[in-house]
Amino acid sequence: MSNPPTGAAAELELDVGRLRRERYAKLQAQMAADGLDALVLLHGPHVAYATDCLPVAADATHVSANRPVAVVLADQSQPCLLGGDPDGLDVDPHPAVWPDIDEGAADLGAQLDAILGKTARGGRIGIDLMTGAMRRTGVLSAADITDAANTMAAVKLHKTVDELACIHQAQVRTSAAMATVQEALVPGVRRSELAAVFLRRLREEGIDANMIDVIFQPMARRMADGPRTTTGHLAFPTWSGDPVYAEGDLIWVDAGSDYHGYASDFGRTWLVGRPPTPGEQRCFERWLAVMDASYEAIVPGATFAEVCTAATAADAAHQPHGERPWMPHFYLVHGVGIESAEMPFLGTDNGPDFDAANTLEPGMVLVLEPAIWDDGTGGYRSEEIVAVTEDGWIPLGGGHPYDPFEVPT
Amino acid sequence: MSLHLQRRARAVDALASAGIDLLVAGRQDHINYITGAHQLWTAGARPFGPVCTLNVATGEIFLLSTWDEGVPDDIDLDHLHGITWSGAIIYQRLAATPGIAAAQRVGIDAWSPGMAGLLSAVAPNAEIVPADDILLKARRTKLPSEVDAIRAACAVAAAAAAAALAHPGTDAQRLAAGVEAMALAGSSTPAAEPQVQGPIIDFSCIRSHYEGGLGRTANGAPPDARPHAALIAACVPGATGHDLRLAAPDGDWLIRGLGMGFEPPVINSRYGAHETLEANMVVSVSATTATEYARDTVLVTESTPEILSPEEP
């Protein structure tokens, strides 16, 4: 049985210049492969990928109101950045636009026509999003438009060494903040108090981008006592107001924050004010067995299905109905990077054919999040992040203890 | 009638007046406005996807949510779609939405080439039109309960501002103290990014779907001499963007709508000259002079504007 993996990733050192150069080269190569003359990007993480202008961790309405826009032209040595803060970036800066309002969208259209030149009239342009205002004002209406999603998905799938370093840093710092939060989890404390500690500690760890309203969800011990679901299974992670925690409560924790535009994903199971019961500890040990089997199966060339099969086999003795040891609305594994959940996805409702047709490759980042549930007792869920290498995997972040559960020796 | 049903009725009226048969919404603020559902807050704007559909004639709603936690009772479990990772399932669900196949006009609140293709396939007879402006126009004037919610959110942001102003540490420490105080006061989700730069601070939050916020300068002028005082006084029914420009101080300033987050109108030295303020609109009013920055959340009334954010700090 395994302690949380630690080690190799400590050697990852972020080189911002190299991060920018390598991503931009990948983007140019993928545009050539996809036959694109230009990319016009409005989705924050995409803009960050192209320009290193980092997304703002604010409400969606604020982020979209005066969001920066990136334009990448084939064979140009640097991207154009409309708005945002170009200070210190290797970009061709242009004035800010407000793409959500009609006057701003018209400004954006004029700027795009000037930047793109004749590409705006008949060139092939990948775009990831248009606002209603851009549609109303006819932005790029004379261009041959295609979706940028596939181009961005292709470049994101395999991480560069600096992308791995960012994810590692995000995870290490999120974990450090969570260590303080767990100390504050005592009977009578409220969810808002834990959130307050977490948000302060994140900033003290040098992270100013909290990406999800942090989840400390008290789990009903029987699914029938929890929210109703479309799957007939667990409801997690839900909005849960501001509960007060009592001794013995089972808390599933989930958090994600950004370091230099790359997401962490912290998941743990905590208990309030007491050690686990034997039944709770057994759930944890089943979870460890699933993790061990998954780690074993993660090698380049393995199909997604092979990893899912190994994880399922490790818990089969406890699953009389053949259920898989993860929540049916989620997955055994999701990727993480500029998005908190991105390809690769293993064990989703894309189905067995999808899992059989896709294979692990070096540079993919995997967040393992199996979940064990024993209805009436409760369950165990944590998350660990690994990066696939040429000959196996290395942990990112890692080393955060499973307290108050004990890893058997 | 509960607040979310009052809001939904406004949205339905506006969509019906625009001849829209079916709305396919992906923006969380529009979804919150129509459904009243409490869903997990995530930072940043998402790509466009079909999270919620509203049949304008029947009022029938389908919402992307794997569970009924946080979902008002008027949307049954059989009208919830669980989260999916499959494009095929998204297609099947949309295609099965009652009324979509025959719809003449489908409204969307954002657009992508991929989603446009999908919608054309499931609504072959329909014109696919942007409806974000229709919804935002319906949202412009606030119901009394909305004003109460905004006032409550302002109090939470004020607690953050007070903590940051009182903290003796570095800007980063003061910012951390402000964010911590905001969570304790009732919101762990920012509206805009919080700001602490020397004497200047600005905090805002989303609390129970609604925004509140304010900005201050430490040891600044009394309220009636703050940089945005004349702008606030000019926020009366019938005031146009042009009128507001005349009331603006030298330096940067912005008046913009505020409700379930950032909303139109946007009025500054560049945009919004043609906009007109109406009673019951709520706006964020901010201005910067050489020495001072201030921002408040302001309700436009039939008489004098009412400042919803606390005077102190």
Distances (CA, A) of A301 to A298, A304, A343, A353, A364: 9, 9, 16, 16, 12
Residue B312 domain-assigned (yes or no):
no
Residue B59 in any domain: the answer is yes
Residues B171 and B93 in one domain: no
* Rounded CA separation A276/A282 (Å): 9
Q: How confident is the model at residue A355 (pLDDT cuts 50, 70, 90)?
A: very high
Q: Which domain holds residue B100?
A: 3-139
Testing the interface with A: which of B64, B67, B136, B209 to mutate, by most A Cβ within 10 A? B67
B84 and B181: one domain? no
CA B30 to chain A, closest CA, distance in angstroms equals 10
CA–CA separation, B190 and A353 (whole Å): 41
* B112–A128 CB contact, under 8 Å: yes
Q: Which residues contact B166 (CB under 8 A, 6 or more apart)?
A: none
Residue B132 lies in a domain: yes
Residue A6 pLDDT:
66
Q: Is the predicted ipTM greater than 0.90, yes or no?
A: yes
Q: Is residue B54, in this structure, part of any structural domain at all?
A: yes
Distance from the B175 Cα atom to the nearest Cα atom in chain A, whole angstroms: 8
Distance CA B194, CA B182 (A): 11
Q: Over 80: is that where the pLDDT of A9 sits?
A: no
Query: What is d(CA B33, CA B4) in angstroms, rounded to the nearest whole number?
Result: 7
- Nearest residue of chain B to residue A227 (CA atoms): B69
Q: Does residue B98 sit in the same domain as residue B200?
A: no
- What confidence score (pLDDT) does residue A1 get? 58
Q: Which of B139, B170, B189 is the last residue of a domain?
A: B139
Mean pLDDT of chain A: 96
Compute the average pLDDT of residues A175-181: 98
| Mean of pLDDT values over A151-174 | 97
How many domains does one find in chain B? 2
Phi, psi of A255 (to 5 degrees): -150, 155
Sign of CA dihedral A323, A326, A331, A332: negative
Given B86, B108, B139, which residue is the final one in a domain?
B139
Q: How far is A354 from chain B (nearest CA, A)?
A: 10
Same domain, yes or no, for B58 and B79? Answer: yes
Contact call for A60 and B46, based on CB within 8 A: yes
pLDDT tens digits, one per residue of A241-279: 999 999 999 999 999 999 999 999 999 999 999 999 999
Q: Which H helix or E strand runs over A258?
A: strand A257-259
Question: Residue B264 phi/psi, 5° resolution?
Answer: -65, 160
Residues B160 and B39 in one domain: no
Domains of chain A: 35-156 (3.40.350.10), 161-396 (3.90.230.10)
CATH code of B135's domain: 3.40.350.10
Strand partners, B307: B298
Contact A212 B40 (CB under 8 A): yes
Residue B313 lies in a domain: no
Same domain, B52 and B113: yes
Query: CB A62 to CB B262 under 8 A?
Result: yes
Residue from A144, A189, A230 to probe the interface with B (highest B Cβ count within 10 Å): A230
CB contact (8 A) between residue A59 and residue B179: no
Q: Domain check: are B223 and B121 in the same one?
A: no
Give the whole-angstrom CA distance, residue A301 versus residue A389. Answer: 11
Count, residues in chain A: 409
* Position A12 confidence tier, pLDDT thresholds 50, 70, 90: confident
| Buried/exposed code over A115-128 (b: 16+ C-beta within 10 A; e: otherwise) | bbeebbeebbbbbb
Same-domain status, B273 and B239: yes
Q: Where residue A8 falls among pLDDT bands split at 50, 70, 90?
A: low
Question: Is-contact B2 B209, C-beta < 8 A?
Answer: no
Judging contacts by C-beta atoms under 8 Å, the chain A residues touching residue B70 are: 238-239
CA angle A186, A192, A194 (to 5 degrees): 45
Count of A-B CB contacts under 8 Å: 216
Same domain, B115 and B195: no
Looking at residue A240, its pLDDT comes to 82
Give the pLDDT score at A10. Answer: 56
Q: Which of B51, B85, B189 is the mutation pick for testing A, counting most A CBs within 10 A?
A: B85
Mind listing the pLDDT tens digit for each residue in A95-146? 999 999 999 999 999 999 999 999 989 899 999 999 999 999 999 999 999 9
What are the C-alpha distances in Å from A216 to residues A172, A198, A202, B69?
Answer: 19, 11, 16, 15
Mean pLDDT of A291-315: 98
The minimal CB distance from B183 to the residues A56, A62, A192 is found for A192
Give helix A161-184 / helix A191-204 axis angle, nearest 10°: 140
Percent of all residues in chain A with a pLDDT value above 90, rounded to a whole number: 95
CA A395 to chain centre: 16
Instruction: Measure the CA–CA gap between A108 and B271, rounded to whole angstroms.
Output: 13
**pLDDT-flagged residues of chain B (< 50):** none
Query: How far is C-alpha B141 from the chain's CA centre?
Result: 12
Cα–Cα distances in angstroms (integers) from residue A331 to residues A40, A298, A324, B146, in the given order: 32, 15, 10, 39
DSSP summary character for residue B297: E
Q: What is the CATH number of the domain that holds B193?
A: 3.90.230.10
What distance lies between CA A241 and its chain's CA centroid? 23
Question: What is the rounded distance in angstroms from the CA atom of residue A16 to the CA atom of residue A29?
Answer: 20
Cβ neighbours of B271 in A, within 8 Å:
98, 101, 103-104
Q: What are B201-205's contacts with CB under 8 Å, separation 24+?
A: B201/B161, B201/B164, B201/B165, B201/B174, B202/B161, B202/B293, B202/B295, B203/B157, B203/B158, B203/B160, B203/B161, B203/B164, B203/B178, B204/B157, B205/B153, B205/B156, B205/B157, B205/B160
Structural domain includes residue B40: yes
Same domain, B167 and B284: yes
Asked whether the beta carbons of residue A129 and residue B48 sit closer than 8 angstroms, the reply is yes
Residue B173 belongs to a domain: yes
Q: Same domain for B194 and B285?
A: yes
Q: Is position B282 within any domain?
A: yes
Q: For residues B155 and B303, state if they share a domain.
A: yes
Asked whether the beta carbons of residue A204 and residue B184 sit closer than 8 angstroms, the reply is: no
Nearest chain A alpha carbon to B70: A239
C-alpha dist (Å) from residue A165 to A13, A31, A169, A364, A366: 6, 25, 6, 13, 14
Residue where a domain stops, chosen among B77, B109, B139: B139
